[in-house]
Structure 1
Amino acid sequence: MKNKAIHGGDIYRNQVRLDFSVNVNPLGMPDGVEEALHEAVSSVQEYPDMEALALKESLAEKLAVPEEKLLFGNGASELLMAVVHALHPTKIMIPSPSFYGYQHAAKATGSKVIPLMLKEENGFLLTEELFTVLEQERPELLILANPNNPTGVLTSKEYLKQLLEKCRKTNTFLLLDECFIEFCEGQDTMLSEIGKGDRLLLLRAFTKSFAIPGVRIGYLVGSTEELLIRIREQLPEWNLSVFAQKAGQACLSSENEAYLTETVRHVKKERQFLTEELQQMGIRIFQGEANFLLFYCEENLYEKLLRRGILIRDCSNFEGLSQGYYRIAVKRHEENLQLLEAIKECLKP
């Protein structure tokens, strides 16, 4: 393993004034969510609802799915691990580059990872090659992210529907990580395919969309209740704190619809701004649809920016990427300006 952090957000071991390494909502936590967290203090002397019934009811109404198709976890990472332990697949197919947590979960169960390298010259897009390898290898589980992390590439719903049909034929479960989907214009979610067969699992979180990574609250939407029961058996009791449950309910308030709409508008505008400015500096940008940007620069930007108190994500430890690949979050305009100015200084001869 390379000597860089596996994940972003390592502000505890670095002197950081601006953190561009984590991809949370640049607009910050909504006021209503902060208020809910304060109010939750009065409930800490009680055990949290083990079933999170109030939160489940609110989310089911929001997503227009039956309550029995929902399962909550202490962040998406806990649910990812629970899925892999519940299915205990002999083989897991994971396209790369992608989120390290998928590999980590596979190692926890001793599953063999079937790699599929996404090609830079093809814009890191999924192609027909995935169908071919899926047919050949017939893994019990395929893990994908849409949009992908760290590339930001958004796969079309039409492609994913074809893929899901292929998974049914190969008896492969498709775990689709949609944790960044709410930052994408159009939000091409696969929610409408839940219930059409028994092979699809959607993984989501409140963490990114509402800027509450410290609260830890994720959820699964599953095709069948039986599958979610198997996964639930892998989770500890009372895994969702009173803070997480109250914050989750506040996130689902209709008051936040305008907040999410503004988020998409802001991310699109600032992502384009960052893209154009970095390209003018001669930096190679990889086009994506998420709230972050992947780029390549021969300069050692990670260390140089860190000396200036700015943390970015060094992507050299992603499978399929090497030294010189970096990921930055899309933040507020004034923060983005500070990053750009610092990069300009780093690139000076």
Structure 2
Amino acid sequence: MTEHSRIRASFEVPHELSDRRLDQAVSELMPEHSRSRLQGWIRDGQLILNGRQCKPRDKVMLGDRIELDAEPEVQVTWKAQSIELEVVYEDDHLLVINKPAGLVVHPAAGHADGTLVNALLNYAPEVENLPRAGIVHRLDKDTSGIMVVARSLIAHTSLVDQLQERTMGREYEAVVVGELTGGATVDAPIGRHPGDRKKMAVVASGKPAVTHYRLVERFAAHTHVRCKLESGRTHQIRVHMAQVRHPLVGDPLYGGRLRLPKGTTEELREVLAGFQRQALHARQLTLEHPETGEMLTWETPLPEDFEHLLAALRQHVRELKSHEF
């Protein structure tokens, strides 16, 4: 860690923060840092009050001097790799990308490198000093689409808050098995599957999860839907749509065996059998810019394999109608 990368700040406690806890006061004075990060610096003696080390719960008074001289921990130990990224938007605080299907977001067992994090460390090296390299939400390996990465501490804190407060808007496109007659909301808690650790499931002990879906286009035995998340649980859309008996096309975990509609042509059979990932694309992202407060929205087009799937389903409908006459 170089000397210039240290975090330094000095404040006098203003009237409105007098008689507050130290950790509460500094979180008001330095909102770009999370409360837990500030508490850690207080305990380590890197953030001091009137020249002495204190506890997070100690009270501050008008005119007290707060000083910070901290060395941010290097949050990641993964290596930078030159992996192509499709950047939709970037500034000093945010990096918005269109993630392709097949790209793992975070290194884990079985995927030590070749991930989005490795690409980020190469494209934006400053993220090495951020928790989880700036990743605040994930897309599954085989889900394509838009996601945001923090490039600064103030952005990381803001994005995490927006996710927790459910003010970040996220919409997805999906193709599900079966003909839906209308949109609906699935409000069902999600937790680890009791019998399969690789899967999630609707379980009473799970965390609250809400998915809204509406129809975009109906086919002979499938439906194109648009899903909006209130929460962001692991595999949420995949689990919720399977729960209402309309799993995503191609989903290897929750889709079950391949189901072919009546009158399926050989062309459609090949497309459905060849679609080897869940038909899910993160289409739109809306958030408040962490510095300016401006509400921003980005959209990404459907990837080629998703468009090819929709085209095959439309063609099947046309063929069925032509046989009616």
Q: TM-score, normalised by structure 2?
A: 0.27
Of Structure 1 and Structure 2, the greater helix share is in 1
Max Rg structure: 2
TM-score by length of 1: 0.26
